Amino acid sequence: MPGAVDLAAEKFHALLVEERSDRVVVLLNRPEVRNAIDQQMVDELHVVCTALEQNPKVLIIAGADGVFASGADIGQLRERRRDDALQGINSTIFVRIAKLPMPVIAALDGYCLGGGAELAYAADFRIATPGVRIGNPETGLGILAAAGASWRLKELVGEPVAKQILLAGKVLGADEALAVNLITEIHAPAELLDAAHNLADRIGRQDPLAVRITKSVFHAPAEAHPLIDQLAQGILFESEAKFHRMQQFLDRNAAKKADRKADTETGEKN
């Protein structure tokens, strides 16, 4: 493909990137500032997104050194003005991550605040350690959470909890986040990435095209249903994978029935 991005050939500084046959693992890697999201990290995340749009794979995002991301880089953020806000520097990359063809898994540990939390909200799955701290302290800094939290968070946890986080500066621990379904699993720090890979493995056992189309239909606006569901199903009904996987299902059932019949006949003879 002309212009295709080869992640192995790219030089990353704010990220550690590992590409496998069916997934890409990204570690946010600015440990000296608790993985604060700066312009370079945003630019490098755009490179990863370009690669995953060209060659769709599951994306796992985690943080180096026991921290997901402590937020945006305050030093850079302090110098931004109106025109910078209108460019949507962080919101643009988070929207792009949310719209990636295949699912995105955020593996959260330690601080997951501000822009770091908004990055996590853009993922399809969020799993965490007992030490995670999730919140949006932006109003305490005189700004708002403008990179997705102001609208995405209420969809994830409901309006009352979202207002506690956005308006009152509430920071959720792991148990609280699990209780409101902001995260779905809690794992020890040493097991967090393994758990993310286990989830990626489960996704990998599904048909990739069915996963991609289901994700797109899931995020379609309400007025697009049910027409978009029917059109998407029409595409999948014609796919080779549908015939192959359904035939495998029928063959397995037939084999089980034959085994049960043989066992019954053996029992009757005895």
Burial of 59 (C-beta count, 10 Å sphere; 0-12/13-18/19+): buried
CA-nearest of 84, 151, 160, 153 to 112 is: 153
Percent of the chain residues past pLDDT 70, beyond the cut? 97
Please enumerate in sequence order all residues whose Cβ is within 8 A of that of 268, keeping only pairs 6 or more positions apart, or say none: none
- Sequence-distant (6+) residues with CB within 8 A of 177 are 126, 128, 132, 134, 183
**Which residue, among 119, 125, 103, has the nearest Cα to 215 in the 3D structure?**
103
- Residue 88 pLDDT class (50, 70, 90 cuts): low
51-87 pLDDT per residue, tens: 999 999 999 999 999 999 998 777 777 777 777 776 6
pLDDT digits (tens, 9 = 90+) for 2-16: 578 899 889 999 999
Which pLDDT band, with edges at 50, 70 and 90, does 270 fall under?
low
223 DSSP 8-state letter: G
Max distance between CA atoms of the chain, in angstroms, equals: 86
Average pLDDT, the chain: 94
Given phi > 0 = left and psi -120 to 50 = alpha, else beta, which region is 181?
Answer: left
Mean pLDDT for the stretch of residues 174-203: 99
Per the model's pLDDT, the better-predicted residue between 260 and 184 turns out to be 184
Residue 139 φ then ψ, to 5°: -65, -25
**String of b and e for 253-262 (b: at least 16 CB within 10 Å)?**
eeeeeeeeee
Q: Name 61's bridge partners.
A: 26, 106
Residue carrying structure tokens 């986080």 = 165
In this predicted structure, the answer to whether residue 1 has a pLDDT above a threshold of 50 is no
| Whether the Cβ atoms of residue 50 and residue 63 lie closer than 8 Å to each other | no
Residue 184 confidence (pLDDT):
98
Q: Average pLDDT, stretch 14-28? A: 97
Instruction: Please state which of the ranges 106-120, 141-155, 255-269 shows the lowest mean pLDDT.
Output: 255-269
Q: Please state the rounded mean pLDDT for residues 191-212.
A: 99
